Amino acid sequence: MKYAVLFVVAVLVSFGQDHVVTSEPSAGLLGPEDSITIAALDCEEISKEWRISSTGDVTFPMIGQVHLAGMTAEEAEKVLAEKLRRYLRTPQVTVYAAEVRSRPVTVAGAVERPGKFQVTGVTTLLDAIVFAGGPKNAGAVVTVKRSISQGALSGPGVRMEADGSATMAEFKLKDVMDGPEGPGPEAAFRLRPFDVVTVAPAAAPGYVHIVGEVNRPGSVELVTQDSVSLMKVLAVAGGLTHVAAPGSTLILHVNAQGVQTSNALVDLKKVMDGKSKDLDLIAGDIVLVPSSKAKVLSQMFTSSALTAGVSSFMYTLARF
């Protein structure tokens, strides 16, 4: 229901507002691969459905090849009527689009139904996202990519792809979908055929784990920051147990693919005493505080078992 309401609101938004990025529609024009139906009085030879070729042409009996791509239906009627004057005294021709296939807009990323949609009339950024079922597990950003062949985007924040083939504009998804006072001007941004709209997915949660001889083994989730200090993680874990051997603490790093990429021995006691610098931990780090040096050395040879176990050990101690 929310997105149905937003769709109606988007239609009512005034297009006279200043937009972050400028864009003009090209809807209403015939294009390659479109199907048209022609009704020509006293000329059954062309009075049927025709498919415009990939080059934008149609080859008719009697009048030959006619380039129709880029014309409106009304312009096509005039061109065909003029060519039929060689055979008819007062040709009367009606042209209308039977199937539009030349104006696709692609919606990709974190939406309910990603895919291609045909632009018919004015289509806004909000329309496209609603047509795709709305955001699903979405992040904060939506981008519009436009091929240079369809006209470059312009405005603050627009960037050119490295090969110069397209321009891209970035919008905040919340401003497009539901700003503080409803959809903002970004919602009314007009799309063109062959635009690609991508809704960024929400970032995967990042965790730092601490296990072994601490009072509350568990995980710290990184929500608003990219790293957290070792001492802060130790604090939320309730400190060391009485049998801990902090001088032989092991720190492992496991990447997003679940592969251990590094390990290091750290003298946690010196860090606690201020004799060594505190360390910044990032998502994927695992802190193992042993009860003896022998256990650490043994653990270094079985770290794959540890990392596999931590993946299912997700008790969250805190979020930073």
Predicted pLDDT at 119: 75
Whether the predicted pLDDT of 218 surpasses 80: yes
Q: Which of 30-34, 209-213, 303-307 has the highest mean pLDDT?
A: 209-213
Least confident of 21-35, 203-217, 240-254, 281-295: 21-35
The ranges of the chain annotated as CATH 3.10.560.10 are 103-201, 206-319
Distances (CA, A) of 131 to 9, 136, 168, 171: 14, 13, 21, 18
The ranges of the chain annotated as CATH 3.30.1950.10 are 35-99
**pLDDT top residue among 298 and 127:** 127
How many other CB atoms are found less than 10 A from the CB of residue 247?
14
Homologous superfamily assigned to 103-201? Outer membrane lipoprotein wza domain like (3.10.560.10)
Whether the predicted pLDDT of 206 surpasses 80: yes
Q: Does domain 35-99 have CATH number 3.30.1950.10?
A: yes
Predicted pLDDT at 310: 55
> The tokens of 284 are what?
């994927």
Q: pLDDT-derived band of residue 179, with 50, 70 and 90 as boundaries?
A: low
Predicted pLDDT at 294: 52
Predicted pLDDT at 44: 92
**d(Cα 251, Cα 211) in Å, to the nearest integer?**
10
Pairing label, strands 138-147, 166-172: antiparallel
Predicted pLDDT at 238: 94
Predicted pLDDT at 17: 32
Q: pLDDT-derived band of residue 183, with 50, 70 and 90 as boundaries?
A: low
**d(Cα 88, Cα 24) in Å, to the nearest integer?**
39
Homologous superfamily assigned to 206-319? Outer membrane lipoprotein wza domain like (3.10.560.10)
For residue 252, the cross-strand partners are 263, 286
**pLDDT top residue among 317 and 270:** 270
Predicted pLDDT at 69: 87
Predicted pLDDT at 7: 37
pLDDT tens column, 78-115: 999 999 999 999 999 999 988 887 788 999 999 999 99
Whether the predicted pLDDT of 128 surpasses 70: yes
pTM flag (> 0.75): no
**pLDDT top residue among 259 and 207:** 207
For Cα atoms 204, 202, 211, give the angle at the middle one, nearest 5 degrees. Answer: 20
pLDDT tens column, 152-174: 887 777 899 888 889 999 999 98
**d(Cα 125, Cα 114) in Å, to the nearest integer?**
14
Q: pLDDT-derived band of residue 300, with 50, 70 and 90 as boundaries?
A: very low
